[in-house]
Structure 1
Amino acid sequence: TMILRDGMCPGLDEELVRELRAADIKTVEDLVSSDVEEVAQKCSVSYKALLAVRRVLLAQHTAFPVSGADLYEELLSSTAILSTGNPSLDKLLDSGVYTGEITELSGGPGSGKSQVCFGVAVHISHHLKQRVMYVDTTGGLSASRLLQMLQAESSNVEEQMEALQRIHIFHAFDIFSLLSYLYSLPATIQQVCVSVGGGSVKAVIVDSVSAIISPILGGKQNEGMSLMIQVAGVLRRIAKDFNVAALVTNHVTRGGGGGGGEVQAGLGLSWSHVPRTRILLERTESAGTGHCSVRSATLIKSSRQPCHIKEQFDLQWWSTSKEGSAAKRKLDDSDSR
């Protein structure tokens, strides 16, 4: 409830505030719900002037109803779908990662979570010409690896450098530095939008969210849980308010106690409600055939597609697809000559 004060709106001066208080009208709610004619007589003020003040306060402080259709139209106009650059993953994600939402990649060590994050960052920065805020919490991000991927996309050094400049990297090794960075992101995103180089921030990647959160969970205090909920809340707000796709990675655990249970995404039940979409990455059984970079991706949570659909993809996709086709084109050209 807003207390009436001098200068709150045109016409509401110190004298009128004093008169209204004497008539037991102390808040915006009091004035809006009162009989204006009666209050004007009590306070010996102009009915027209008081009515004008009431109208302005109503316009400033009332939550006007919005229809579901209007909300849906707003959603359609603001949501963008960003391709990951990999057809198999895009198929599982119903075309790609969606802005305004949190998408999670979960998997064990060596399942390819970071590689996929690198590939998505490179695709968004090079092909979509948009910016990516990349939070590395494990020290696993390598600029040379990003450059190698970009070299597979383009042989133009200037294009490679421009794409690298659109990937903004932050290293966070504890929960407090992660939270501090996330809370400062809105201002950074607004700054980046007006800076040179083109492109607005379209993705925030946190690899890995569990590396920082899982060590603080458990114990007698609930501090760890509270900090985890703060991370979830600020990520959600950034995704929605700035029309950004949030992509996070998580570890896996085995249910059933004995280690032989079903593979589950880590961080427990409270975190499971945070991502809108969840994909489980696993090594495939085809390692013996020489395709050690092949991974399987299973959709384990989605509001758009049936769960448990599975796709196989090659982690080398982002590093070799364009390079291979460029080499083939050169060969074809030389043959034709």
Structure 2
Amino acid sequence: MAVLSEGMCPGLDEVLLRGLRAADVKTVEDLVSSDIEELARKCSVSYKALFAIRRVLLAQHTAFPVSGADLYEELLSSTAIISTGNPSLDKVLDSGLYTGEITELSGGPGSGKSQVCFGVAVHISYQLKQSVIFIDTTGGLTARRLLQMLQTETSNKEEQMEALQRIHIFRLFDVHSLLDCLHSLRSGRLQQASVGSGSVKAVIVDSVSAVIAPLLGGRQNEGMSLMIQVAGTLKTMAKDFNVAALVTNHVTRSGSGEVQPGLGVSWSHIPRTRVLLEQVEKSLVSQSTLRSATLIKSSRQPCHIKEVFDLQWWSRSKEGSSGKRKLEETDS
């Protein structure tokens, strides 16, 4: 229990400390649990000044309780919702990707995880005019593929190039390189990517399991430690820089044969939202581009919400007599 002392944070001087002690407020816990408006009157100090001190102390001593009202105020002031560009997927995600959080797409080979990531990156860079960090750990991302998708958005080559410049690609093939990259982004590279090309609104890692899964299993404690480091760095970066983190994961089968995301129980607590992508068989003759998205973890919506969408949504021509596609257009 930390005792309040002079200089603990800006504004907490000797005069205010005397007033707080007279009001029987002697520790950080006493202060953050008090009615700030009433305490401000007792100490003859402005409400705003005392509220600011309380916020700093809360940040420094996170183990102390914070009220639901404070959490809601922080949510309203800092969280943004970024559309994926696909109405069906947005519905499963409760409107889109939330900044400050990690969203996971899991699925087997051919489920469309990478295609969705490409589509999200193109949508954010072209439609929203914001920047994206795309970390490719499988070698599946090519500038040609992104350009093809952008060509369905606009025939203007200058606009295509501007959108491509807003997608910053890192190719990394081991977990140590991934950690170095994430640490570099946290320590300033993220702001550099924002200069002159829109703010960075999303960090995409496709795939996080490709570099972590080979290190797990058996007695490989180092693999578990590295996984937790990746998770912690991603969560901190998403929160501190108010960006949405989108990661992809492989799937495994449980003892009962049920499909489930990979990387085990420890990783399952990391993403705030988890979506399972699966192929939808259209016929035995033609390969379907339809995919199902099932919500398997969320703090906002009931799980098992399921939507079917077409992977070609991001590759269809959006130009026409009416100009750019409206963001709220639905897939027929």
**Under TM normalisation by the shorter chain, which class is it?**
0.7 to 0.9
Structure 1 residue ranges (4+ consecutive) displaced by more than 6 angstroms after TM superposition: 59-62
Shift of 1:288: 3.4
Q: Distance in 2 between matches of 1:149 and 1:200?
A: 22
Q: Give the match for residue 20 of structure 1.
A: none
Give the 3-state SS of the residue equivalent to 1:104 in structure 2: strand
Shift of 1:290: 3.7
Residues 75-224 of structure 1 aligned to structure 2 (within 5 Å)? 75-186=75-186, 187-193=188-194, 195-197=195-197, 199-224=198-223
Shift of 1:274: 0.6
Q: Distance in 1 between matches of 2:262 and 2:142?
A: 25
Give the 3-state SS of the residue equivalent to 2:204 in structure 1: strand
Q: Distance in 1 between matches of 2:120 and 2:266?
A: 27
Q: Verify the 8 A CA contact 1:287 1:294 in the aligned structure 2.
A: no
Q: Verify the 8 A CA contact 2:113 2:277 in the aligned structure 1.
A: yes
- Greater Rg over alpha carbons, structure: 1
Q: Name the TM-score, length of structure 1 as normaliser.
A: 0.75
Shift of 1:287: 3.8
Q: Distance in 2 between matches of 1:287 and 1:89?
A: 23
Q: Give the match for residue 231 of structure 1.
A: 230
- 1:54-94 CA-to-partner distances (Å, cap 9, x unmatched) read xxxxx799725854312311211110000000011001001
When residues 95 and 267 of structure 1 are mapped into structure 2, their CA distance, relative to the original with a 3 A threshold, is same
Q: Verify the 8 A CA contact 2:126 2:163 in the aligned structure 1.
A: yes
Q: Give the match for residue 276 of structure 2.
A: 280
- Partner amino acid, structure 1, of 2:233: V
Give the 3-state SS of the residue equivalent to 1:184 in structure 2: helix
Shift of 1:266: 0.3
- Partner amino acid, structure 2, of 1:190: Q
Q: Name the TM-score, length of structure 2 as normaliser.
A: 0.76
Q: Distance in 1 between matches of 2:93 and 2:55?
A: 40
Give the 3-state SS of the residue equivalent to 1:100 in structure 2: coil
Q: Give the match for residue 256 of structure 1.
A: 255
Q: Distance in 2 between matches of 1:61 and 1:81?
A: 25
* Aligned equivalent of 2:57, options 39, 58, 63: 63
- Partner amino acid, structure 2, of 1:266: G
Q: Unaligned 5+ residue runs, structure 1?
A: 10-31, 34-58, 330-337
Deviates more, 1:235-244 or 1:68-77: 68-77
Shift of 1:146: 0.4
Q: RMSD in angstroms over aligned alpha carbons?
A: 2.6
Give the 3-state SS of the residue equivalent to 1:85 in structure 2: coil
Q: Distance in 1 between matches of 2:172 and 2:99?
A: 23
Shift of 1:313: 0.7
Larger helix fraction of residues: 1
Q: Distance in 1 between matches of 2:56 and 2:96?
A: 38
Q: Verify the 8 A CA contact 2:281 2:287 in the aligned structure 1.
A: no
When residues 70 and 60 of structure 1 are mapped into structure 2, their CA distance, relative to the original with a 3 A threshold, is closer
- Partner amino acid, structure 2, of 1:76: L
Shift of 1:219: 2.9
Deviates more, 1:247-256 or 1:71-80: 71-80
Give the 3-state SS of the residue equivalent to 2:155 in structure 1: coil
Aligned residues: 272
Shift of 1:303: 1.0
